[in-house]
Amino acid sequence: MATATRAYWKGYLKLSLVTCPIALYPASSEAEKTHFHQINRRTGHRLRQQMVDAVTGRVVDKRDKSRGYEISKGKYVEIEPDEIKAIKVESTHSLDIEKFVPVDEIDRRYFDRPYYILPDGKAGEEAFAVIRDAMQNKDRVALAKIVLTNREHVMAIEPFGKIMLGTILRYDYEVRDEKGLARSVATPKIPKEMLSLASHILDSKAGHFEPSEFKDEFEAELRKLVKRKAAGKPIAYQEPVQRPSNVVNLMETLRRSVEGSGGRAAPLRSSSSHRKGSRPKAREGSSSRRARRPAA
């Protein structure tokens, strides 16, 4: 797992009158994924993108590029970067904790991007530790506002071992309502025997979340493909196996699944048996959260 070495944001964490300098580091990265560039098939040279005027068809010089908001069809109001900077928000250089809420009240759909929060310099270590330790075992997360890339966000903050984890939350208008989709789903009456068989299968596959157990097989195969192609070896495409269009007898399929699992549930391992290097305990920064029950 790649470790960030350069802070993404620096500012101050504030809890009432207690303030300490902090630095944010991205907790996730796609840098290790295989990335492609656009190239000219005939020359093998990398392509360079150009911006073209939609009306004149002419290439636009970098100096003439700007941003605009469409107020009517084909009519835009131009917004300059300095004009956006003129928007005054108090959280520009601070992470000001406004309230503490039960973690289980936050619907999982609202969680977006995670960041590690560390004290920035020795001067803030004591204040950082006080805020972090006061939050331990409270089953609550702190909510604070922060400005990143000229946008104000709400961040949920919680202890994460010796540091803290801050997760950007989506705003209410960014989360789609599920009620319309739910209305299109039928509610058939399930026989008790069928539900019992399905529950047995679930129990037989019970376990603990170990991130290292999940491998990105597509990424591994993609790297093999690139290596093979670079060596001049042919790439053969195979048609995928056609999936069955339907399940003829669901009850019989469930019975065969139970027989295939050996008819007994797999024992759960205790959390103490997790391998060294796994994530801290739940209250020290686990990302697992129960979704808030939607309103009826």
pLDDT digits 0-9 by tens, 93-106: 889 899 999 999 99
Burial of 191 (0-12, 13-18, 19+ CB in 10 A): exposed
pLDDT (tens digit per residue) in 131-182: 999 888 888 999 999 988 878 899 999 999 999 999 999 999 999 999 988 9
Question: E-assigned strands of the chain?
Answer: 9-15, 18-26, 67-72, 75-79, 94-102, 111-119, 140-148, 151-160, 163-169
pTM, to two decimals = 0.70
Q: What is the pLDDT of residue 272?
A: 42
Q: Which CATH architecture has domain 9-30+86-174?
A: Beta Barrel (2.40)
Whether 142 and 157 have beta carbons less than 8 Å apart is answered as: yes
Nearest to 99 by CA among 131, 140, 127, 139: 140
List the chain residues with pLDDT less than 70: 1-4, 88-91, 243-248, 261-296
The helix or strand, by DSSP H or E, that contains position 254, with its residue range, turns out to be: helix 250-260
- Domain edges within the chain: 9-30+86-174
